[in-house]
Amino acid sequence: MLNLKNTVPRKKMSVVSTRAYFFIIPGIFLFFLTCLYMICSRNKDVREIKIVVNYPLVNEKGELKNLPDTVPILYYKNFILCQLPYQYLFTRNGILKGERKNYRLFFYKQGDLYGTLYDSITTDIKNSGTRCLVDSIMRRNVYKTDFTTIADSLQLYSSEKNNISILEKYIYTTRIVEDSFDSIFLFYDKRLNWVDYSWSRRLDSSKGMKLYKIKIFFNTKASDLYKLTMPKREFSYEILSCKKEPSLSIVSFVKKLSKNYNVSSH
């Protein structure tokens, strides 16, 4: 015999499940669109680059050691925050127990002569900070080397270009001193024109592109000055555009600084 009591609830459950899916699926889609909008909105206002350098050092035995370093720079609207690395050493009774890389933070508005240096991201921004010249801080801490005149004294021997990038290779025709480099490569890219940081504003302007990478090469050679054979070396300076989102804590900090800037006396 057919049990009607058992069939009725099943129909009701089917109707309830259908209605649940009717509301859940659009809800998930709406949540996805909201997250996508938030990510796109954040990317629109916040960008990050890294200044990456490499210094090859040679010891008394002629052994080569590369010393890389990186300085992150955050752009928020027309405000700039540089994260300046330094080594914090842990000692006990004069003995080194460990070390850690920390960051001081230098904040300024694009075009300003002065900015403010903070000790850490947890600093009370209203009651601390040291006023500093932007140019002075950048030259001492962010490898602000000017390559404007370096190409003038060299001979261009190769050039590769397209609509968005240029690679120029230069060599020395006459060696001035013993430890002069042998060749230098200059890389330009139009996609980085938004970056305020510059290795040479004159070269940026002349090419209509950002000079974003410099490679300086030294060939292997005997050195009378250092009394050893200097190995092949490569110095490099590069502006890297970061694809990964900066941390929420650093984004929150620069936004807080920008709000305080607007109400303070600059």
Helix (H) / strand (E) containing 50:
strand 46-58
* pTM reported for the whole predicted model: 0.74
Asked whether residue 13 carries a pLDDT value surpassing 60, the answer given is no
Q: Which amino acid is at 1?
A: M
Residue 151 is predicted with a pLDDT of 66
Which of 127, 85, 88, 89 minimizes the C-alpha distance to 106?
Answer: 85
CB 261 within 8 A of CB 255: no
Distances in Å between the Cα of 150 and the Cα atoms of 24, 77, 165, 199 are: 63, 33, 20, 11
Average pLDDT over residues 146-150: 75
Residue 96 is predicted with a pLDDT of 46
Average pLDDT over residues 26-46: 56
114-134 pLDDT, tens digit per residue, is 999 998 888 888 778 899 999
**Which residue has better confidence, 264 or 153?**
153
Backbone CA torsion sign across 116, 260, 49, 190:
negative
CB 124 within 8 A of CB 109: no
Residue 33 is predicted with a pLDDT of 52
Phi, psi at residue 207, to the nearest 5°?
-95, -15
Mean pLDDT, the chain, as a whole number? 79
Helix (H, G, I), strand (E, B) or coil at 72: strand
